[in-house]
Chains A and B, each alone.
Chain A
């Protein structure tokens, strides 16, 4: 039978019924006619015909079923039936649909966000031809493999020789200061065909960059603003074109404003020709440097070129470049390059691939747990209902419904529910990304991520729904499948059959999953206060941290830089409130890799890891580190430069049990140093954790390495302003980045707070789901076993004993759930530790405080959920319970 006939039959059911009736009636009439013609009386003929024909009702059903064999009709019946049975328990349906919508909506929304941020190529125009180029270096400078970017000569070679690419754009992103303020702004230094390669469409004001503006030697200083910058910093001024803005003191004429529609693909910032780099950053000239890679590259495949041919050609070009380097530049002598092509999405970036995948797992993992919890709840609610409905199901089975058909009926029920929940969750998928971004409070104003769920997201949503359906219907199906017909029909199932192992494992699973989420919430909620309340080992509110942008690439520029530093120092010293200052190469709360330090005089011994901080004479005083033994650096040390101060941890680890004063060590640069002092440990690398072994070495008299640290008294804000104007009085092009260490920590704490808010919301949802689950199951069990409690009471058990018994029974499950949650949380914690490995957040893989407090929270809440049903068990009236027999 064709599908169309079946579908038609669906709507023509009534007409079809009438037709079959008419046909069968005609048969009887024909038969009566025949019999009367044979001489029978009409009444007798009719009776005979009827007897021969049999039961017309049964006949009609059989004929109908021949029409509807394998038909949609049966499904239609199931859907009808499902709607009816869902309607009959409205509260349950609403709760279940709400739980599922929240679960699916959160997941789909989060996936929409991740999809936009990580998985989507950064262009809307013909993404299939868009490729991003990643060079993979070997044998160049240390860590070159970590930088999949190109040097200027490499970019020029590819631009000139690559035929497989129809065009190639390069860009470099750096942080600058706008108009002498303290606000950081991203500068996008791009090749002038960047808008074309990225398919940016037309600008909303003015124009993009012209090709001549990127010609080497071009002095044109122009910029294009992103929509967000134009709105946030310039009040969407329609007269913006032709105005001059200053980035790092460099004047730029605004020639255009980008269209807001492209903002999801491009972070907000200011776009300008890449040839302006040396004028924007005084510290280094990347444009003419042959040894420093700095440009990212993307292009469009030429007609007929495939990713594979392009990759082969680009690798050949780059290897030709390797040979050129060999001939000219000794530093790059062993460089070997391969080129990888990707679709440009963030996750395909070889440098961050593992991390992004880990991050996605971390974000989606807990969310999937929420969905699973929701499914558990729905399953539990359905299961309890299936058990309550076992009489009805038994009757159906007795009437000959096959168990498969029954299972299908239950499946349709959950499918209907998850379908409705999926529809409801669709708007959530749109709203959630914006809420998350708002909660995260991204730094450069609100990012305008336009979330347009595409097929990735719809696919994800569909998979979620299917998963939810299967999960939600498995348990009830199982229960219906193994229903013992006879005892169910008699309505006398023993308590043993009733105690479903399934509900028990569901409770355990729910507790375990919410434990994971609560542990995550506790972790994040604690982070800000860890950052704020820790004792750094030095005073942080009145210690200013400042970096200057100074070119030190040549001897002449170094001499100029020294003059600049000296006059800045002079002016700062004259400021009222400034107490002391010094330079240090290790920035607090930025992870500095350890170098290898050899202990003793022998250079052949194995190096020990220690973080080396090259400091100026007064830094220790400025920071306020306390001395444990010996002395700090003195003015006389600078000339010989052969002394070192070590930290307490250094002494304890590498000079155990001996006095380190006077001992020799060899610094990573090969200098032999004598230890003259031991400083107390600081907590300046990870929040709340004592620093590992540290070595302080002394900078030369004319060196000014690292950041300048200024110890002052008085109001921090006023001091920041004073310092800034002092620096700009010396050099107006300097826009120093300055902050107190405390403010820096506070910013970190705030960013954790916003993250914590998101996690707490998720954990709260999870906990509510778990509590409803525990409560529902326990009250169901209690109501099922009221007879047993009645008998126990008649036998003399007092109410307290029953209360304890009920509580104990479920406490065991909660306990198992907690243990299982621990087993789940630990690997999650481990992944998290890997992802944040470079941040100053201390993550302990096994943290008894964290796990203990999470267990306590969950335990208390679970107790609250168990309390009410347990109380109800004690209120069972023995007489009524026994009469129910």
Chain B
């Protein structure tokens, strides 16, 4: 998947990341997605931060300021109960999408 096509799936990736890693700051999320996808997926900061703030306003994630292990202040995000629900919904949706696309590709 190319970088620009991530739009719809960005929420899913962020929610999944937070589900796997617990508490994480924005930079950490970028790093995690990059590493976990074997450098295949690269999240653009320009999309990530607006998405994080939108999810915070929607109540899917909560945020707090904390110190990193190098002693720097950063804003850490954490999944909420509503976010967990949203994640499973998004995962189900994504599964459906993938199945659909696979089916299409078979007949194309």
Interface residues of chain A, those whose CB is within 8 Å of chain B, are: 1, 5, 19-20, 22-24, 26-27, 29-31, 33-34, 52-54, 58-59, 62-63, 65-67, 69
> 22 A-B contacts, Cβ less than 8 Å apart?
A5-B57, A19-B75, A20-B49, A22-B75, A23-B26, A23-B49, A23-B75, A26-B27, A26-B75, A27-B25, A30-B28, A30-B74, A31-B27, A34-B27, A54-B45, A58-B46, A59-B45, A59-B49, A62-B46, A63-B49, A66-B51, A66-B54
**Which residues 1-58 in B have Cβ within 8 Å of A in the complex?**
25-28, 31, 45-46, 49-51, 53-54, 57-58
In Å, the complex CA distance between A1 and B59 comes to 8
Shortest Cβ gap from A12 to chain B (Å): 13
**Using Cβ atoms and an 8 Å threshold, which residues of chain B touch A54?**
45-46
Dominant secondary structure of chain A at its interface with chain B: helix
**Do A33 and B72 have beta carbons less than 8 Å apart?**
yes
Residues of B within 8 A of A20 (CB): 49, 53
Q: Which of B46, B68, B70, B73 contacts A22 (CB 8 A)?
A: B73
Cα separation A29 to B27 with both chains bound (whole Å): 9
CA distance A30 to B28 in the complex (A): 9
- Taken together as a complex, chains A and B put the C-alpha atoms of A791 and B25 apart, in Å, by 69
**Which residues of chain B are near A19, meaning CB under 8 Å?**
75
Please, how many angstroms separate the alpha-carbon atoms of A65 and B51 in the complex?
11
A1 to B73, CA, bound (A): 26
Contact with A along B66-79 (1 / 0, CB 8 A): 00101011110000
| A699–chain B nearest beta-carbon distance, Å | 94
Q: Is the CB of A67 within 8 A of B53?
A: yes
| Contacts A23-B74, A26-B26, A26-B73 supplied; 6 other A-B pairs, CB < 8 Å | A1-B57, A1-B58, A27-B25, A30-B72, A30-B74, A33-B70
A1 to B75: give the CA distance in the assembly, Å.
Answer: 20
Q: Check if B45 sits within 8 Å of A27, measured CB to CB.
A: yes
- A69 to B55: give the CA distance in the assembly, Å: 12
- Give the complex CA separation of A247 and B50 in angstroms: 86
Q: Which residue of A lies closest to B53 (CB)?
A: A66
Complexed CA–CA distance, A22 and B53 (Å): 14
For A31, what are the chain B residues with a Cβ–Cβ distance below 8 Å?
27
Note all chain B residues with C-beta closer than 8 A to A30: 25, 27-28, 68, 72, 74
Q: Which residues of chain B are within 8 angstroms of A63 by Cβ–Cβ distance?
A: 49-50, 53
**Which chain B residues border A59 with CB–CB below 8 Å?**
45-46, 49
- For A26, give the chain B residue with the smallest CB separation: B74
Smallest distance from the beta carbon of A92 to chain B beta carbons, Å? Answer: 40
Nearest 8 A/B pairs, CB to CB: A66-B50, A30-B27, A1-B57, A66-B53, A26-B74, A66-B54, A23-B75, A63-B49
Decide if B54 touches A69 in the complex (CB within 8 Å). Answer: yes
A65 CB, nearest partner CB in chain B, Å: 7
Give Cα A59–Cα B48 distance, bound, in whole angstroms: 10
Kindly list chain A residues whose C-beta atoms are within 8 Å of the C-beta of B50.
62-63, 65-66
CA distance in complex: A49, B52 (Å)? 20
Known: A23-B75, A66-B51. A53 touches B57 (CB 8 A): no
Select from chain B the residue with minimum beta-carbon distance to A23: B75
| CB-based contact B57/A27 at 8 Å | no
Q: What is the minimal beta-carbon distance from A875 to any residue of chain B, in angstroms?
A: 58
Q: How far is the CB of A292 from the nearest CB of chain B, in Å? A: 77
Taken together as a complex, chains A and B put the C-alpha atoms of A30 and B24 apart, in Å, by 12
| Chain B, residue nearest A33 (CB) | B70
Chain B residues near A33 (CB-CB < 8 A): 70, 72
Chain A contacts for B31, CB-based, 8 A? 34
Note all chain A residues with C-beta closer than 8 A to B72. 26, 29-30, 33
Taking the closest CB of chain B, its distance from the CB of A4, in whole angstroms, is 12
On chain A, the residues within 8 Å of B27 by CB distance are 26-27, 30-31, 34
Distance from A630 Cβ to chain B, minimum over Cβ atoms (Å): 101
CA distance A94 to B57 in the complex (A): 42
| Residue pair A67, B57 in contact (C-beta under 8 Å) | yes
Q: In the complex the two chains form, is A52's CB within 8 Å of B45's CB?
A: yes
Residues of B within 8 A of A53 (CB): 45
- Closest partner residue, chain A, to B75 (CB atom): A23
- Complex CA gap A30/B69 in Å reads 11
C-alpha gap A115/B53 in the complex (Å): 53
Q: Within 8 Å CB of A52, what residues of B? A: 45
Establish whether residues B49 and A62, one from each chain, have CB atoms under 8 Å apart when the complex forms: yes
Residues of A within 8 A of B68 (CB): 30
Bound CA span A5–B53, Å: 13
| Minimal beta-carbon separation of A72 from chain B (angstroms) | 14
Question: What CA separation (Å) do A795 and B46 show in the bound complex?
Answer: 61
Cα of A781 to Cα of B60 in the assembled complex, Å: 58
Nearest CB of chain A from residue B57's CB, rounded to whole Å:
4
Q: Which of A31, A52, A66 has the most CB of B within 10 A?
A: A66
* Across-interface contacts of A62 in B (CB, < 8 A): 46, 49-50
* A66-B50 Cα distance, complex, nearest whole Å: 5
B17 CB to nearest A CB, Å: 15
What is the bound-complex CA distance between A22 and B65, given in angstroms? 10
A33 CA to B54 CA, complexed, in Å: 27
Q: From A56, which residue of chain B is reached at the shortest CB distance? A: B45
Kindly provide the distance from the CB of B62 to the nearest chain A CB, expressed in whole angstroms. 13
Q: How far apart are the CA atoms of A31 and B75 in the complex, in Å?
A: 14
Contacting residues, chain A, for B25 (C-beta < 8 A): 26-27, 30
* Inter-chain contacts of A58 with B (CB < 8 A): 46
Shortest beta-carbon distance from A118 to chain B in Å = 52
- The closest CB in chain B to the CB of A24 belongs to B49
* Residues from chain B with Cβ under 8 Å of A27 in the complex: 25-27, 45, 49, 74
Chain A: minimal CB distance from B48 (Å): 9
> Which chain B residue shows the least CB distance to A60?
B49
The CA of A5 and the CA of B57, in the complex, are separated in Å by 8
CB distance from B60 to the nearest CB of A (A): 12
Which A residues touch B74, using CB under 8 A? Answer: 23, 26-27, 30
- Expressed in whole angstroms, the Cα–Cα distance for A31 and B28 within the complex equals 9
Q: How far is the CB of B28 from chain A (nearest CB, A)?
A: 8
Given the complex of chains A and B, what is the CA–CA distance between A597 and B99 in angstroms? Answer: 100
Q: Which residue of A lies closest to B50 (CB)?
A: A66
Nearest neighbor of B68 in chain A, beta-carbon distance:
A30
Q: Which residues of A contact B51 (CB under 8 A)?
A: 66
Residues of the B chain whose Cβ atoms lie less than 8 Å from the Cβ of A23? 26, 49, 74-75
Contacts of B57 in A (CB 8 A): 1, 5, 66-67, 69
Using Cβ atoms and an 8 Å threshold, which residues of chain A touch B58? 1
B28 contacts across to A, CB distance below 8 A: 30
User: Bound complex: CA of A656 vs CA of B49, how far in Å?
Assistant: 101
Collect the chain A residues with CB atoms within 8 Å of residue B70's CB.
33
A58 to B49, CA, bound (A): 12
A59 to B51, alpha carbons, bound, how many Å? 12
The answer for the CA separation of A440 and B47 in the assembled complex, in Å, is 71
Instruction: State the CA gap A94–B25 with chains docked (Å).
Output: 54
Chain B contacts for A67, CB-based, 8 A: 53, 57
**What's the Cα separation between A623 and B28 when bound, in Å?**
111
Across the interface, which residues of B come within 8 angstroms of A29, CB to CB?
72
A58 CB to nearest B CB, Å: 8
Cα A26 to Cα B72 with chains together (Å) = 8
Q: A363 vs B26: C-alpha distance in the bound complex, in angstroms? A: 68
Complexed CA–CA distance, A53 and B48 (Å): 11
Rounded to whole angstroms, the CA-CA distance of A59 and B47 in the bound complex is 9
Bound-complex Cα distance A52 to B45 (A)? 8
A20 CB to closest chain B CB (Å) equals 8
A598 smallest CB distance to B (angstroms)? 91
Q: Which residues of B contact A1 (CB under 8 A)?
A: 57-58
CB B16 to nearest CB in A, in angstroms, measures: 20
* Complexed CA–CA distance, A31 and B30 (Å): 10
Q: How far is the CB of B90 from chain A (nearest CB, A)?
A: 18
Contacts of B26 in A (CB 8 A): 23, 26-27
Cα-based distance from A44 to B31 in the complex (angstroms): 20
Determine how close the nearest CB of chain B comes to the CB of A31; give it in whole angstroms.
6
Cβ of A29 to closest chain B Cβ, rounded Å: 6
The smallest beta-carbon distance between A61 and chain B, in angstroms, is 10
The answer for the CA separation of A19 and B26 in the assembled complex, in Å, is 14
Closest CB in chain A relative to B68 CB, distance in Å: 7
Q: Which residues of B contact A26 (CB under 8 A)?
A: 25-27, 72-75
Bound-state Cα–Cα, A26 to B53, Å: 16
A66→B61 CA distance, assembly (Å): 14
